[in-house]
Amino acid sequence: MNIWFFVILILAIALVLGPISMLRPSPAQQRKEKLRLYATNHGVRFSMRRLPALKTDMEQAATLPVYYLPPPPKTAATSEWILMRTTYIHEGNFHLEWDWQTDIHASEETCNILKAYLPKLLASVPAISSSSLGVCVFWQERESTEMLDLLIEMLTKLHQTEFPATE
């Protein structure tokens, strides 16, 4: 047989298998997908949203993963607040480097829950909010399911105070 036959055969196989192998998710993508599936199995939804700009930001913030619990159907409008991590600790902040980004703040009960959880949150959690879309946590998904469990626990408690069950 001719050597060119084998060269052409190898090139044809490479042209077919190359693009197929590029379609496979990377290990980082697989890890994020596992986190998102884990959250979904615990009743938490996922989406990508743009992080609101801090009062001191000059540029528009990046789009980040958001884990959230939606409000119950037919829920009355609630106050919309957002608590963001700043780059500095100041006595005017809500708690250490965490500060409100709107004029509306959470209820006292919600604030107590937040103060209990904020010291446990790593830098990969830049914001927490509550709005008509539900209670949300912006998270960069750098850690494992242990951090996600903490976020789910916090989301559940915040959801219970922000959207109390009505009879």
Q: What is the pLDDT of residue 76?
A: 64
The CA radius of gyration of the chain, in Å to the nearest whole number, is 22
| pLDDT tens for each residue of the chain, 167 residues long | 688 888 888 888 888 888 887 888 889 999 999 999 999 999 999 999 988 776 666 777 778 999 999 988 876 667 789 999 988 888 888 988 999 988 888 999 999 999 999 999 999 999 999 988 899 999 999 998 999 999 999 999 999 998 887 54
Q: What is the pLDDT of residue 56?
A: 66
| Secondary structure percentages of the chain, helix, strand, coil, to 5 | 40, 20, 40
Contacts of 158 (CB under 8 A, 6+ apart): 110, 113, 114, 128, 130, 135
Residue 129 φ/ψ region, left for φ over 0, alpha for ψ in the -120 to 50 degree band, beta for the rest: beta
DSSP letter, residue 103: S
First to last CA, the chain: 83
